[in-house]
């Protein structure tokens, strides 16, 4: 497929556990973004990667959140010591350098119990 791929699609975890979410961007897209969407709310920016530049981490809500990207390919978002307020859909998007529309994945629905 040519779209942004995210895995897993659903994740249920116990409070206090660490989770890792994966994003495969569209081939050739140099920019990659992570967003969080709580139920009934808009998207909240988390982090942005552009090529080999230092990532913009200004949206990460706490030091329990971190993300990595290997070159211009796969990215992982890690949440350590999960809390119930971390429950949300985590969306990944990628785009070409043109600031036009980003292409979003289907998201990972995270439930912390």
Binding site for other proteins (CB under 8 A): 4, 31, 33, 35, 40-45, 48, 50, 56, 58-59, 91, 93, 97, 99-107
Closer CB to other proteins, residue 3 or residue 16? 3
Closer CB to other proteins, residue 77 or residue 105? 105
Closer CB to other proteins, residue 81 or residue 107? 107
Least spacing, CB of residue 75 vs other proteins, in Å: 14
Least spacing, CB of residue 16 vs other proteins, in Å: 27
Least spacing, CB of residue 81 vs other proteins, in Å: 26
Q: Exposure string (b/e) for 52-69, b if CB count within 10 Å is 16 or more?
A: eeebeeeebeeeebebeb
Closer CB to other proteins, residue 56 or residue 80? 56
């Amino acid at each position: 497929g040519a779209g942004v791929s995210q895995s897993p699609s659903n994740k249920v975890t116990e409070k206090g556990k660490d989770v890792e979410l994966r994003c495969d961007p569209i081939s050739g897209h140099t920019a990659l973004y992570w967003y969080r969407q709580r139920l009934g709310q808009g998207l909240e920016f988390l982090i942005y990667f552009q090529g080999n530049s230092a990532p913009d981490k200004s949206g990460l809500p706490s030091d329990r959140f971190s993300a990595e990207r290997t070159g211009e390919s796969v990215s992982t978002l890690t949440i350590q010591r999960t809390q119930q307020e971390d429950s949300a859909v985590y969306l990944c998007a990628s785009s070409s350098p043109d600031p036009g529309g980003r292409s979003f994945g289907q998201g990972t629905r995270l439930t912390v119990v």
